[in-house]
Chain A
Amino acid sequence: MKLKQLESLLGGLQQFPNPKMELEQYPTGPHIASRMLYTAENSFGDVSGKVVADFGCGCGTLGLAAALLDAEHVIGLDIDSQSLEIASLNAEDLELDIDLVQCDIRNLGWRGQTVNTVVMNPPFGTRKKGADMDFLFVALKIASQAVYSLHKTTTRDVSHLF
């Protein structure tokens, strides 16, 4: 699939009608989403034929992009049922099949490194400090191959993690 086509399909997805501030809900734009997944696949082979998880999937943009680039199995995880409903509708619209799980990333029970790649646009930690680190921590634990994640430059200091 060409990048422009991917970007166009992602641009047609439904997004949060009433974003919840406390969860830092905002859509991942089609421009960045398409390029992120396109690079993950074409430069690193981390998408096609792989198991991909989208943490904090919201309306499903990144997970669906992975599915469009032929990920074998995609799992989208989010805490908010309304977002998951929209993600489900978006998947139906694109005639794609992805699994969705409602959970809190901080107490998710997950067995081992069964996922190849994690893609995510997690909360930046502007509302709840350290939210981005919660997501990164779990992503690094469960991904066997790669983690692609978007972060805010002002939260760059990760030295306290190690």
Chain B
Amino acid sequence: MRLLTHNMLSCNIKGVTNGFPLRIEAEKVVEKQVDFNADFLKNMFPKIEWKALVAAAKSMGYTDLPDQAESSMIDSEEFLKKFHHALLQLHLEEGALICPETGRRFPVNKGIPNMLLHEDEV
């Protein structure tokens, strides 16, 4: 699972007011090369929750992203390359996503997070 997907997922357990972002417990991280697409990254940038991406990248072992980012930074290819790497090239293969409010663990196996809720959580 890429961090682009992680940036969209939240915990929807009954009663939870803010289930985003999910904390990452990374047991196995894999890097896969993807062609660099500057236009895509520039379009994606305003839709991304930056702090969540930085925190997620750190928990996957990637610390090169600046803590804060403004839209003027997308003119820098150096910045875009780091953004590209964090967003699309880092994969969480094994581990878990943790609800920030309840601590509930959603396991990730073979890159697939299991977001199914139990009956009492719906």
| Chain A residues within CB distance 8 Å of chain B | 49, 51, 72-73, 75, 79, 81, 84, 88, 97, 99-104, 107-115
Contacts and interface: CB of A to CB of B under 8 A. Distances in A.
A111 B4 contact: no
Interface string B30-47: 001010010110001001
A110 B2 CA distance: 15
B69 interface: no
Interface of B: 1-2, 4-5, 7-12, 19-20, 32, 34, 37, 39-40, 44, 47, 49, 88, 110-117, 122
Contacts of A104: 116-117
Contacts, number: 74
A128 to B, nearest CB: 15
Contacts of A51: 4, 44
Of the candidates A51, A111, A113, the one having the most CB atoms from chain B within 10 angstroms of its own CB is A111
Contact of B115 (A49, A108, A113): A108
Top 10 nearest A-B pairs (CB, nearest first) are A109-B12, A109-B10, A103-B115, A99-B5, A102-B114, A114-B8, A100-B112, A72-B40, A107-B12, A114-B47
B34 A97 contact: yes
B104 to A, nearest CB: 12
Nearest to B110: A88
26 contacts: A49-B40, A51-B4, A51-B44, A73-B2, A75-B5, A75-B8, A81-B112, A88-B110, A97-B32, A99-B1, A100-B1, A100-B111, A100-B112, A101-B9, A101-B112, A104-B116, A107-B12, A108-B12, A108-B115, A109-B115, A111-B9, A111-B20, A111-B49, A114-B7, A114-B47, A115-B8
